[in-house]
Structure 1
Amino acid sequence: MGGEPLDLVAAVARSTDPEIREVFDRRVREQAERIRADIRSGHLDTDEFAVGMELEGYAVDGEGRLARIPDAVFDRADCGKELGVHNFEVNSAATVFDAAGIAEQADRIRASVDAATEALATVDLTPVLDAMWTVPPAEGTDAYLGTVEERNGVVVAANMRHHPRYVALDNEILDRSGGAITLGVPGATLSYRTILMESLATSIQPHLQIPDTDTFPRYFNAALRTLGPVLSLASNAPFLPADCYDDDPDVIDATPHELRIPVFEESINAGASRDDGKVRFPADVERATDVVDRVVADETYAPILSDGDGDPDASAYRSTLPEYDHKRGVHWRWVRGVVGGQPVGTERDGASLRIEYRPLPTQPTVRDTVSLQVLVVGLLRGLVAADHPLTDLPWEAARECFYDAVDEGPDANLAWVTAAGARTDDRGTVYDELFAYARRGLRDAGLADDVIDDYLDPVERRRDGTVPSAWKKARVRAEVADGATLPEAIEAMQREYVDRAGGETVFVDW
């Protein structure tokens, strides 16, 4: 603890220094110009599609309560730290998008989760594959999320990772929010002097490397129009921690199926609207360089000058873009273009351009996670390969569909354009095309039909509305009907979920 307070205070002071910001923004502009030139020259083109995945979770103790993860666990397991001290993240390195690469993705994700499980077991903790923790730690949610101290005017949240980047971001957003971060959702209002409530939410993020950057806009714009229908099959976060609620059973029907989205947006957006906040549904792009322009134009939050101290895990190309990479990391959109990863499937030196598909909640099992990953990458590849007219769907309709899926989950009003060019909101038609074009993309990648069916089955069987958020609502409703209070019912549901999650039985067979 000796030097930590001064280090954190100094980091926040540097991030607010106008001269530091001026240098940072200049470096971002210079690095962005190099990226644009590399996109135009084909330097970011690759020979193959490639896929990857990020998966976030949290830890609980022997009583199923949220628990802090000691640093030693991260030394034992190949997983990363996140904003909250209860969070962990595992990543599967990119593989070529073919049959062997998809199989390797599944193996890597399973191995990473197993390694995290073994490491956490050494300190009597268990990882949970879930989208929002709801059984609070022993001291309660308010104390856990709200405990902060001031160090020479810098706010430091007790249960946030005390990394300069996180603390600087926290103070920047807190200042922009007028000194408090407030979340208002059905049945609860939370307000804290920290963005830590963002750590309530965990997600999975499939990645798709696009080999030809000239075609990147077609994939990006198609991705935006798939968000609502895919999220409606994936929703898994209907409740805040149980002790945030009074005994009001009307919350069960009123609460959104995907609270993760408003939690993240309201934690970060500093009172801005969904159209103007840092976290939002992005606009279409016309050219690949648009994603670079957007990072440059985005407001600078908590800048850090690398001065040779960049990300040690960055590719050779990314390591030359530390300030741009830092700013891209806080350019929060529900779909992002990511520049600079080590290219996969090519023997050429260079980099890559990929889509990061960000709105999906962490799923109950590894098989469910892989199924969603395969659905997303197959769907995007299939839609573009078939020249499907989905991008004729107006952007406003795609955005509205996404936020309706946030609220209504499996009952969302879907928006789609069929292969024949007709607008439709018929769920059966939408899902028929969704899975048909995912199969098209997976076949183009060389996967056999029976293998494709096996991958897609855990998610495809959710078409009838059997999604994790609906299961959670139903279990809470049943507990209340048996005489439990709403907080008791949420805890009972969550303990059952934790008992089932992470196993070999896919969600639809629970």
Structure 2
Amino acid sequence: MGLDIDQETFTEADFLLFRRRLGISVGELKETLTIPGFGDTETSVGAELEMFLMHADGRPAPLNGRVRDDVRDPRVVLEVDRFDLEANLTPVELRGRPFTALRTETDALLAAISTAAHAHGAHPVTIGTLPTLTAADLHRAALTPCGRFQHIERALSRCRSSPYLLGLGGEEPMTLPADSIAVQGANCSWQVHLVVAPAEFTRTYNAAQLATGPVLAAAGNSPLFLGRRLWQETRIPLYEQGFGDGGGPSGLAPRPRASFGRRWLDGGVVRLFADAVRDHDVLIPVLSTREPAVGATPWLDELRLHQGTVWTWNRPVYDPGGHVRIEFRALPSGPTSLDMAANAAFLLGLTLHLARQPDDPRTAMPFESARGNFYRAARSGLRAKLCWPSAHYPTLTWSDAGQLLPQLLPLAAEGLVGAGVDAEEAGQLLAVIAARVAGGQTGAVWQQRALSALEERTDRRTALRLLTSAYTRLAASGAPVHTWPTPTRSAGG
């Protein structure tokens, strides 16, 4: 999705040739993975941080083009809506203190973006869903005028009626009519990338699927949308339904483009790319004219572009630089760089631990149970009922997330240290998760508590503005969210 697209129109011949190239590319990918030395690289980790731009009064600031131009940094790119930006962090080796490096770069980029945004009367906010958004902010006019987003919009519009309905559950359920993928601009995430050796991909990917649900329960930061109290991670159903292709946790749609998946992986990374080609038609048939240099790995531009229009929560990435990786897409943006580093450490550590166990992660539980964990965690956070493999295989143990997570933190520590992460760094970050769980305060819980406190003194619209102001100020302090006080009206601004 990082590819900008200049071509305005496509012919049926473009689609036919693109589909033909996809079939060929899957075979080329399979051959590429067998090239001696492919994937023989140090394990590295990277991340993408999405954020909102907001005016001081809480309104979204549709200024992403101006702010991006003023920052003048290629790591800062436009996102779906005019009030969204993304910062692409530099990959670092997993050994040593990678999360410190990611935090340092995150803080530096946020500072640069903040300086540029302030010149336009705005500032960045790292949060899963911006509480002050209104339905009027999410119509087609909000879409960033960038080739790739416009092309996806047109392609999906041909496949569905408009408006289409999104059904979101929770304490105050709602139905939202949408006329555009601009509704996706209401979601901001913290996407973590892990380079994986091809031979270990199946095991590691399945471990990631198993780990994502419990970790998400500790990371919720998206409980409010259009003034309603919904899921702890409302991003999950909102994103799955936001393309208008019938996606959603009910599983009623045969092949939604955004989903957790439908089975354990059993054929390596090639299987995931082949499934994407088989199950999803082409949206943007941009034909590549690049030829790889002699002895270099193929670009596979068409296959990479197509995979970029299939939004599984854990997504495979082929890099022609010589590796494959997993893109972990489920974590929300924010609240602070420390909170995000802790979330990433927990997710990667638990994934690495599970991948290195003697038994294949597929044997730990039925896939439907892992998928159920994911949606229950998104809905209920620390109060979610989750299942986990017990010592008495194949029995599953059920418990509240708040009881399960302390048992998983030492496993994550083992996974990190075993991969070469500095033990002190791993311990400090996982201690943040432990304190968050013990205190019962994720970013989502803080927002809910803040809204309740502020609504005792004012109306909801004002409370949402004050809440967002307090959130922004506390996030700027750098203090992890489990230490944040609940605001009063005066403290909220």
Same fold (TM over 0.5): yes
Tell me if structure 2 keeps the 8 A contact 1:204–1:369: yes
Tell me if structure 1 keeps the 8 A contact 2:125–2:472: yes
1:280 matched to 2:253? The reply is no
The equivalent residue for 2:488 is none
Q: 1-side partners of 2:267 and 2:231: how far apart?
A: 35
1:82 matched to 2:76? The reply is no
Q: 1:105: Cα distance to partner?
A: 2.4
Q: 1:367: Cα distance to partner?
A: 0.8
Three-state SS of the structure 2 residue aligned to 1:414 is strand
Q: 1:170: Cα distance to partner?
A: 1.0
Determine which of 357, 361, 367 is the counterpart of 2:338. 367
Q: Which moved more, 1:279-288 or 1:116-125?
A: 116-125
In structure 1, give the amino acid aligned to 2:178.
Answer: Y
Matches within 5 A, 1:238-277: 238-242=223-227, 252=229, 255-272=230-247, 274=249, 275=251, 276-277=255-256
The equivalent residue for 2:437 is 463
The equivalent residue for 1:236 is 221
1:354 matched to 2:334? The reply is no
Q: 1-side partners of 2:282 and 2:465: how far apart?
A: 37
1:177 matched to 2:165? The reply is no
In structure 2, give the amino acid aligned to 1:485.
Answer: D
Tell me if structure 2 keeps the 8 A contact 1:415–1:424: yes
Q: 1:452: Cα distance to partner?
A: 1.8
Q: 1:359: Cα distance to partner?
A: 0.9
Three-state SS of the structure 1 residue aligned to 2:224 is coil
TM-score normalised per structure 2? 0.87
* Structure 1 residues 477 and 317, CA gap change in structure 2 (3 angstroms): farther
1:94 matched to 2:101? The reply is no
The equivalent residue for 1:423 is 396
Three-state SS of the structure 2 residue aligned to 1:75 is helix
Q: 2-side partners of 1:433 and 1:390: how far apart?
A: 18
What is the aligned-residue identity percentage?
Answer: 23
Q: 1-side partners of 2:271 and 2:361: how far apart?
A: 21
Q: 2-side partners of 1:457 and 1:90: how far apart?
A: 26
* Structure 1 residues 273 and 188, CA gap change in structure 2 (3 angstroms): closer
Tell me if structure 2 keeps the 8 A contact 1:91–1:109: no
Tell me if structure 2 keeps the 8 A contact 1:179–1:193: yes
The equivalent residue for 2:472 is 498
Tell me if structure 2 keeps the 8 A contact 1:60–1:127: yes
1:168 matched to 2:151? The reply is yes
* Structure 1 residues 70 and 402, CA gap change in structure 2 (3 angstroms): closer
Tell me if structure 1 keeps the 8 A contact 2:240–2:247: no
Determine which of 51, 61, 68 is the counterpart of 2:55. 61
* Residues 277-298 of structure 1 deviation map (CA, whole Å, 9 limit, x = unaligned): 1111112111222122122213
Q: 1-side partners of 2:100 and 2:128: how far apart?
A: 24
Determine which of 469, 474, 477 is the counterpart of 2:449. 474
Tell me if structure 2 keeps the 8 A contact 1:418–1:433: no
Q: Which moved more, 1:429-438 or 1:73-82?
A: 429-438
In structure 2, give the amino acid aligned to 1:450.
Answer: E
Matches within 5 A, 1:308-347: 308=289, 317=297, 320-340=299-319, 342=321
Count residues in correspondence.
460
What CA RMSD, in Å, does the superposition of the two structures yield over aligned residues? 2.3
Three-state SS of the structure 1 residue aligned to 2:92 is strand
In structure 2, give the amino acid aligned to 1:263.
Answer: L
Tell me if structure 2 keeps the 8 A contact 1:390–1:419: no
Tell me if structure 1 keeps the 8 A contact 2:64–2:84: no
Q: 1:448: Cα distance to partner?
A: 4.0
The equivalent residue for 2:489 is none
Matches within 5 A, 1:209-224: 209-211=195-197, 213-224=198-209
Q: 1-side partners of 2:128 and 2:17: how far apart?
A: 38
Tell me if structure 2 keeps the 8 A contact 1:44–1:353: no
In structure 2, give the amino acid aligned to 1:164.
Answer: G
In structure 2, give the amino acid aligned to 1:290.
Answer: R
In structure 1, give the amino acid aligned to 2:246.
Answer: G
Tell me if structure 2 keeps the 8 A contact 1:55–1:89: yes
Three-state SS of the structure 2 residue aligned to 1:191 is strand
Q: 1-side partners of 2:77 and 2:297: how far apart?
A: 22
Q: 2-side partners of 1:93 and 1:472: how far apart?
A: 31
Q: 1:227: Cα distance to partner?
A: 1.6
Tell me if structure 1 keeps the 8 A contact 2:19–2:282: no
Tell me if structure 2 keeps the 8 A contact 1:337–1:355: yes
1:110 matched to 2:84? The reply is no
5+ long unaligned stretches in structure 2: 485-493
1:142 matched to 2:153? The reply is no
The equivalent residue for 2:351 is 380
Q: 1-side partners of 2:92 and 2:224: how far apart?
A: 35
In structure 1, give the amino acid aligned to 2:120.
Answer: V
5+ long unaligned stretches in structure 1: 1-6, 147-156, 243-250, 311-315, 343-350
Three-state SS of the structure 2 residue aligned to 1:108 is helix
* Structure 1 residues 64 and 488, CA gap change in structure 2 (3 angstroms): closer
Tell me if structure 2 keeps the 8 A contact 1:337–1:354: yes
TM-score normalised per structure 1? 0.84
Tell me if structure 2 keeps the 8 A contact 1:305–1:323: yes
* Residues 370-421 of structure 1 deviation map (CA, whole Å, 9 limit, x = unaligned): 1111222222112222336653111001111111112111111112114664
Determine which of 380, 383, 387 is the counterpart of 1:411. 383
* Structure 1 residues 215 and 420, CA gap change in structure 2 (3 angstroms): farther
* Structure 1 residues 292 and 389, CA gap change in structure 2 (3 angstroms): closer
In structure 1, give the amino acid aligned to 2:136.
Answer: A
In structure 2, give the amino acid aligned to 1:174.
Answer: S
